[in-house]
Amino acid sequence: MAVETKVESNVEVIKRSSNFLRGGLAQELALDTPDVSGESEQLLKFHGIYSQDNRDVRRERAQAGVALDYIFMTRVVIPGGRLSTEQWLALDGIATSVADGSLRLTTRQAVQFHGVLKGDLRQLAQSLDRQFLSSFGACGDVVRNVVTCPNLHLESGQGHLEGIALQLRESFRSTSEAHWEIFVNGEKAASREEIEERPFYGETYLPRKFKIAVSHPSDNCVDVFAQDVGLIPGDHPEAGAGFTLVVGGGLGRSYANADTFARLAEPLTFVTNEEVEEVIASVITTYRDLGDRTDRKRARMKYVVADLGLEAFRSEVEGRLGRRLRAPIPLPSSFDADDHLGWRPLPDGTWQVGIRVGAGRVRDDEHSTLRSALRHIAENFAVTFFITPQQDLIVSGLREDDRNAIEALLVQHHVRLDGELGNVERRALACPALPTCSQALTESERRLPELVSGLEGALAARQLGRRPLQLRMTGCPNGCARPAVAEIGVVGRTKSTYDLYLGGGIRGDRLASLYREKVSLDDIPDILGPLFDRWGAEGESDEAFGDFLTRVGVA
Ligand code: SRM
Ligand code: SF4
């Protein structure tokens, strides 16, 4: 019988021959062309940059025989989503100077700039560098932006957790000088001492992206079970304060590969604060060595955990660590997910206000001048901004005396306050999809408002308008807005249809299941109508939709 030999993927070859992520990037950026080669496209991802084209004009340009409208997306790493007002103002400036006039807050607390021209990529990187920000490592086969619940700094006795995202980002970032040389300041780099790349990356880095999130002890707004590694703060009866470490989550799937699936992370161990970095490093090297480098669709760590089984995976990690892992403690029973919206008092006597940002898009348009309002706040108040994993924004550190002024400012800019939001709208997420995402099969962000109002209308017609409902929508099954764990997940299937998933929940600890395939967006409120009727008639008064559907066996 012939033995199948697996060949490493092309991206592995590109990484290995790139001299630690340099390749021909510097030379190609200097060329007066609007796009880059396929090889540079792969390397650019490690620098936080995606080569895209404006898909709204793709067809007409092809028909006219002209080149695609090449644009780039730059994603900025923002550990824990925390930004100073100076940083916010710099990002706001970039949106005007080299991007499409918007800042796009992501589901991992980062900021994306869309519509950047190749010739402006360096200027953008330099503007970030001046604010101690960077896009390096926001994408690519490395540890990505570390996500934390923006509530962590509120927890008394857990104050040190606020820095965890920064600490992990620092420990697991690539130390290649490539980004600095190519995008920020080549001359200075030439005179700097060459720093060696991290041994756990080596010259081929990880098989694929690697995601870490830190939840609040009782708030899973980060979707900790959707991560390669999730940390849930807790107290071990003997070891003391630390984290339950969960491994092997991930939500992306591919229609073309039946062997791909969404998976929730499972508890592996309990680590103390002192052990957390060392254990994650062993998980990362396990993944580095055992992850699939032949098929990028199956290269995520969740497949290593699923294929080996948790116990064998644990043994692999222990082998690298040189000691046994402690057993995990039970997960918190009160796990919920805060939307972080509205006014909240802080322990130091100041206030924070969480502002809803529809699909994370901060801009000025006919509905509101949100971007101007935030610029005004950053210019005039001594505050800190936190991007939430729900694509929203918290303005934190406001004095009691400032509250009226802030409210008036938001009203003046037509930014709707917490109490004015619809109950579907306030938790709804959507990925960017068209026109920028190369993987999009359908619209998402641009059609979210109509789906939200359709669902809110269907609920209101049944006197269920006050019941919260969690909707998440994506333009393809990669699952960037995490629909696989939502109460209602709407996932692009063909050019004009979506698959409908039901039964996830606010706690993020349950996968939704497929309810209907290939439905049109317009039909979704009617398809869900009978289920809303049952929820109203048979559900407990405080029973969430996803919990109800699971209890009665619909999902
Ligand atoms: Fe994502 C690829 C946008 C969070 C799973 N994601 C993409 C790309 C870069 C498309 C591409 O490869 O060409 C999208 C950019 C489109 C654009 O025009 O902006 C994109 N992903 C996003 C963001 C901006 C969605 C959002 O609405 O905020 C999020 C950016 C996060 C960040 O700041 O780092 C984003 N992506 C996620 C999440 C959610 C999360 O991490 O909590 C997931 C599911 C969790 C997971 O990783 O399993 C996710 N994105 C993917 C995948 C599927 C990976 C897989 O395992 O197969 C892809 C495709 C890929 O990597 O090839 C992808
Ligand atoms: Fe693009 Fe798909 Fe992610 Fe949406 S879910 S941003 S369509 S890759």
- Pair (157, 255) in one structural domain: yes
Asked if residue 506 has its Cβ within 6 Å of ligand 2, the reply is: no
Mutate to test the pocket of ligand 1, among 109, 480, 490, 501 (most ligand atoms within 8 A of CB): 480
Identify whether 55 is part of a domain. yes
Amino acid 166: pLDDT:
86
Quote the DSSP letter at residue 423: T
Q: Rounded to the nearest 5°, which phi and psi values hold at 398?
A: -80, 140
Residue 515 resides in a domain: yes
Average pLDDT over residues 85-92: 98
Number of domains comprising the chain: 4
Q: How close is the Cα of 247 to the center of ligand 2, in Å?
A: 23
Q: Has residue 192 got a pLDDT over 60?
A: no
Mean pLDDT to the nearest integer, 106-118: 98
| DSSP label at residue 363 | -
Q: Which of 292, 216, 358 is nearest to 12 (CA)?
A: 292
Confidence of residue 1 (pLDDT cuts 50, 70, 90): low
Residue 355: per-residue pLDDT: 98
* Residue 57 structure tokens: 């004009």
pLDDT at 152 > cutoff 80: no
**CA dist 181 → 136, 189, 242, 346 (Å):** 12, 5, 38, 42
Domain limit, last residue, from 286, 321, 337: 337
Q: Which protein residue has the closest C-alpha to ligand 2 atom 3?
A: 480
H or E stretch at 310: helix 310-321
Whether 31 is covered by a domain: the verdict is: yes
State whether 165 and 305 are in the same domain: yes
Residue-range definition of the domain harbouring residue 453: 425-551
Looking at the fold, whether 155 and 291 belong to one and the same domain comes out as yes
CA of 127 to the centre of ligand 1 (A): 24
| Of 298, 321, 337, the domain-final residue | 337
How many Å lie between the centroid of ligand 1 and the Cα of residue 144?
A: 11
Average pLDDT of span 299-317: 98
Q: What are 330-380's pLDDT values in tens digits?
A: 998 878 889 999 999 998 899 999 999 999 999 999 999 999 999 999 999
Same domain, 364 and 441: no
Same domain (yes/no): 155, 287: yes
Instruction: Report the CATH number at residue 131.
Output: 3.90.480.20
Give the integer Cα–Cα distance in Å for 22 and 30.
Answer: 14
CATH code for the domain of 373: 3.90.480.10
Confidence at residue 194, expressed as pLDDT on a 0 to 100 scale: 62
Model confidence pLDDT, tens digit, residues 367-392: 999 999 999 999 999 999 999 999 99
CATH of the domain at 296: 3.30.413.10
**Contact between residue 260 and residue 297 where contact means Cβ atoms under 8 Å apart:** yes
Q: Tell me whether residue 199 is in a domain.
A: no
Q: What average pLDDT does the segment 273-293 reach?
A: 97
Residue 301: HSE in the Cβ half-sphere, 13 Å Cα cutoff: 32
Whole-Å CA distances, 481 to 107, 470, 519: 6, 12, 19
- What's the CA-to-centroid distance between 389 and ligand 1, angstroms? 13
Q: What is the pTM of this model?
A: 0.97
Mean residue pLDDT across the chain? 94
Nearest to 317 by CA among 288, 290, 279, 271: 279
> Mean per-residue pLDDT for 44-68?
97
Does 195 or 478 have the greater pLDDT score? 478
- Please say if the pLDDT value at position 167 is more than 70: yes
On whether residue 48 sits in a domain, the answer given is yes
Which atom in ligand 1 lies closest to the alpha carbon of residue 45?
9
For residue 311, is it within any domain? yes
Grade residue 175 by pLDDT with cuts at 50, 70 and 90: very high
User: Is there a single domain that holds both residue 73 and residue 111?
Assistant: yes
Q: What pLDDT is stored for residue 185 in this prediction?
A: 84
pLDDT at 105 over 70: yes
Catalytic residues: 75, 144, 209, 211, 431, 437, 476, 480
Predicted confidence at residue 334, as pLDDT, reads 76
With the C-alpha atoms ordered 377, 381, 382, 388, is the resulting torsion angle positive or negative?
A: negative
Residue 193 lies in a domain: no
State which ligand 1 atom lies nearest to the alpha carbon of 138: 34
Same domain, 28 and 155: no
Q: 276-281 — which CB contacts under 8 Å span 24+ positions?
A: 276/164, 276/168, 276/231, 276/242, 276/243, 276/245, 277/167, 277/168, 277/171, 278/321, 279/245, 279/317, 279/321, 279/325, 280/168, 280/172, 280/212, 280/229, 280/245, 281/171, 281/172, 281/200
Question: Is 437's C-beta closer than 6 angstroms to any atom of ligand 2?
Answer: yes
The residue type of 77 is V
User: What is the position in ligand 1's atom list of the atom closest to the CA of 226?
Assistant: 45
Q: Which of 431, 498, 501 to mutate to test the pocket of ligand 2 (most atoms within 8 A of CB)?
A: 431
Q: Which ligand is nearest to the CA of 482?
A: 1
Amino acid 376 reads H
Percent of the residues in the chain that have a pLDDT greater than 90, as a whole number:
90
Query: Can you tell me the mean pLDDT for 301-326?
Result: 98
In a domain, 18, yes or no: yes
Both 259 and 317 in one domain: the answer is yes
Answer whether 254 contacts ligand 2 (Cβ < 6 A): no
Same domain as 95, residue 3: yes
Burial degree of 324 (CB within 10 A; 0-12, 13-18, 19+): exposed
- How many A from CA of 493 to the centre of ligand 2? 12
* Residue 190 pLDDT > 80: no
Q: Which ligand is nearest to the CA of 253?
A: 1
pLDDT in tens, 386-429: 999 999 999 999 999 999 999 999 999 999 999 999 999 999 99
Among 418, 450, 468, identify where a domain stops: 418
Instruction: Retrieve residue 262's tokens.
Output: 């969404």
Look-up: residue for tokens 């040190």? 160
H/E segment holding residue 533: helix 524-538
The sign of the dihedral angle between the CA atoms of 123, 129, 131, 134 is positive
- Ligand in nearest proximity to the CA of 358: 1
- 68 in the same domain as 107: yes
Same-domain check for residues 465 and 430: yes
Query: Does 410 lie in the same domain as 267?
Result: no
Residue 494 neighbours by CB under 8 Å, 6+ apart: 441, 442, 518
Ligand 2 close to Cβ of residue 387 (< 6 A): no
Atom of ligand 2 nearest to the CA of 475: 7
The helix or strand, by DSSP H or E, that contains position 25, with its residue range, turns out to be helix 25-30
